[in-house]
C-alpha cells in the first residue's frame, strides 16, 4: 500500500525568477524580445551558411551547428518561462520536468564539445596550415559534430538514468525558472547526498575537461599567431577573439556553478540565465558582427531574396 504511494508527485512548481509583479511584466517583455532575437539570429546564420557556397568550409559548418544547438538550448525552457511570467501558471508536469533536465544536459554537453571541436579546427588551420585541407575534410568535420552530440547524449544519460527512478513523494517546489537537476534531486524522498555529489562531479568534470582543452588549444594558437606577424594573422586574431569571448561567456557561469564549491543557490539561479538565455543570443551577435565574410554573405542573401520576391511580382 505505502510503496504504491511513494512516487506520487504529478507536477513540480517552478518559482521563477522573481515574485514581484512589476518585475514579472518587465521580464516578460525583456525575455520575449531576447528569445525572438535568439531564434531569428541563429536562423540567419544557419540559412546563410547553408545557401552560400562560399561559406561551405569546416569552420562555417561548425558555426552553423553551434547556432542550431544554441537555438535548441534557448528553446528547452525559455518559452515555458515566458509563458509562465504572463499567465502565473507555475506548474510543470513530471514528464515535462524530466524532459527539461534531459535536454539541458544534452544540448549543454554537445555545445561544450562543439566549442572544443571549433578550437581544434582553428588550431589545425593556424598551426598546421599546409595540412588543413587534408586533415579537416568533410568526414573529420562530420565526425566532430557527431562526437559532440554523442558527448551530450552520454552525459545526459549518465545522470537521467538514475534520476527517472527516484521516488518523489511530496516536496515539489523548485526555486528556479526551469527544472534544474541538482535542485530536483534534492526533492526526492531518499538520502540523495551521494547522488548530488555525482551530478555535480559529472557536469563539473565535463565542463572542466572541455575548458582545459580550450585553454590549451587557444594558448597554443595565440602563441603561434604572435610568432608569425603578418596581415593574415590579424584576421586570425579577430576570428580568435570572437571564439574566446564565446568560450568565456559560456564556461564562466558553468564552471562557477559546478566547480566553485562555495557558490550560493540564489547566485546559481541568476547565473543559469546566462548559459540558457544570453549565450545563445550572443553567439550570432559576436560571430556576425566580427566576421566580414559572414556579413557580406548575409547582405548578398538578403539582396537575392529581395530581388526574387520582386521578380515574382512582375
Ligand X SMILES: *[C@@H]1O[C@H](CO)[C@@H](O)[C@H](O)[C@H]1NC(C)=O
Segment 144 to 173, residues that bind ligand X, using CB under 6 A:
145
For ligand X, the closer CB: 147 or 208: 147
Closest approach, Cβ 105 to ligand X, in A, equals 21
CA pair distance 160, 138, nearest whole angstrom: 33
Residues sharing a CB contact under 8 Å with residue 136, sequence separation 6 or more, in sequence order? 58, 121, 124, 125
For ligand X, the closer CB: 18 or 50: 50
Instruction: Tell how many helices (H) and how many strands (E) occur in the chain.
Output: 13, 3
> How do the residues of the chain divide into helix, strand and coil, expressed in percent and rounded to 5?
80, 5, 20
Mark 8-27 with x for binding to ligand X (rule: CB under 6 A) and - for no binding.
--------------------
Cα torsion for 278, 284, 288, 290, to the nearest 10°?
Answer: 40
For ligand X, the closer CB: 24 or 75: 75
CA pair distance 21, 37, nearest whole angstrom: 24
Mark 120-149 with x for binding to ligand X (rule: CB under 6 A) and - for no binding.
---------------------xx--x----
For ligand X, the closer CB: 68 or 251: 68
For ligand X, the closer CB: 64 or 120: 64
Number of residues located near ligand X, criterion CB under 6 A: 10
CA pair distance 121, 133, nearest whole angstrom: 11
Q: Which of 34, 64, 104, 112 binds ligand X (CB under 6 A)?
A: 64
Q: Which of 65, 151, 156, 276 binds ligand X (CB under 6 A)?
A: 65
For ligand X, the closer CB: 54 or 83: 54
Residues sharing a CB contact under 8 Å with residue 313, sequence separation 6 or more, in sequence order? none
Q: Which of 12, 27, 31, 68 binds ligand X (CB under 6 A)?
A: 68
**In b/e form, how buried is each residue of 9-27, taking b as 16+ CB within 10 angstroms?**
beebebebbeeeeeebeeb
Mark 23-62 with x for binding to ligand X (rule: CB under 6 A) and - for no binding.
-----------------------x--xx----------x-
Closest approach, Cβ 115 to ligand X, in A, equals 14
- Three cell numbers written together for 122: 582553428
For ligand X, the closer CB: 59 or 185: 59
Please say whether the dihedral angle defined by the alpha carbons of residues 103, 260, 263 and 248, taken in this order, is positive or negative: negative
CA pair distance 266, 245, nearest whole angstrom: 25
Binding site residues, ligand X, CB under 6 A: 46, 49-50, 61, 64-65, 68, 141-142, 145
Amino acid at each position: 500500500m505505502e510503496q504504491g504511494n511513494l512516487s506520487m508527485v504529478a507536477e513540480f512548481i517552478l518559482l521563477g525568477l522573481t515574485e514581484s509583479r512589476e518585475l514579472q511584466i518587465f521580464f516578460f517583455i525583456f525575455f520575449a524580445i531576447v528569445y525572438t532575437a535568439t531564434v531569428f539570429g541563429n536562423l540567419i546564420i544557419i540559412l546563410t551558411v547553408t545557401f552560400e557556397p562560399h561559406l561551405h568550409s569546416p569552420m562555417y559548418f561548425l558555426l552553423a551547428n553551434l547556432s542550431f544547438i544554441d537555438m535548441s538550448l534557448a528553446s528547452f525552457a525559455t518559452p515555458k518561462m515566458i509563458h509562465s511570467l504572463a499567465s502565473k501558471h507555475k506548474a510543470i508536469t513530471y514528464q515535462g520536468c524530466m524532459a527539461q533536465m534531459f535536454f539541458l544536459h544534452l544540448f549543454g554537453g554537445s555545445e561544450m564539445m562543439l566549442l572544443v571541436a571549433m578550437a581544434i579546427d582553428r588550431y589545425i588551420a593556424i598551426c598546421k596550415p599546409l595540412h588543413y585541407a587534408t586533415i579537416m575534410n568533410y568526414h573529420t568535420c562530420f565526425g566532430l559534430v557527431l562526437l559532440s552530440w554523442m558527448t551530450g547524449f552520454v552525459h545526459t544519460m549518465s545522470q537521467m538514468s538514475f534520476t527517472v527512478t527516484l521516488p518523489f513523494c511530496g516536496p515539489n517546489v523548485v526555486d528556479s525558472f526551469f527544472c534544474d537537476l541538482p535542485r530536483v534531486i534534492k526533492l526526492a524522498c531518499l538520502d540523495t547526498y551521494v547522488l548530488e555529489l555525482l551530478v555535480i562531479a559529472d557536469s563539473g568534470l565535463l565542463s572542466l575537461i572541455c575548458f582545459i582543452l580550450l585553454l590549451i588549444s587557444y594558448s597554443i594558437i595565440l602563441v603561434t599567431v604572435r610568432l608569425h606577424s603578418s596581415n593574415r594573422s590579424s584576421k586570425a586574431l579577430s576570428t580568435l577573439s570572437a571564439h574566446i569571448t564565446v568560450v568565456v561567456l559560456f564556461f564562466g557561469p558553468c564552471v562557477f556553478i559546478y566547480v566553485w564549491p562555495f557558490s550560493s543557490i540564489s547566485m546559481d539561479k541568476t547565473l543559469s540565465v546566462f548559459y540558457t538565455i544570453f549565450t545563445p543570443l550572443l553567439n550570432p551577435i559576436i560571430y556576425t558582427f566580427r566576421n566580414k565574410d559572414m556579413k557580406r554573405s548575409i547582405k548578398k542573401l538578403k539582396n537575392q531574396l529581395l530581388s526574387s520576391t520582386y521578380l515574382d511580382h512582375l
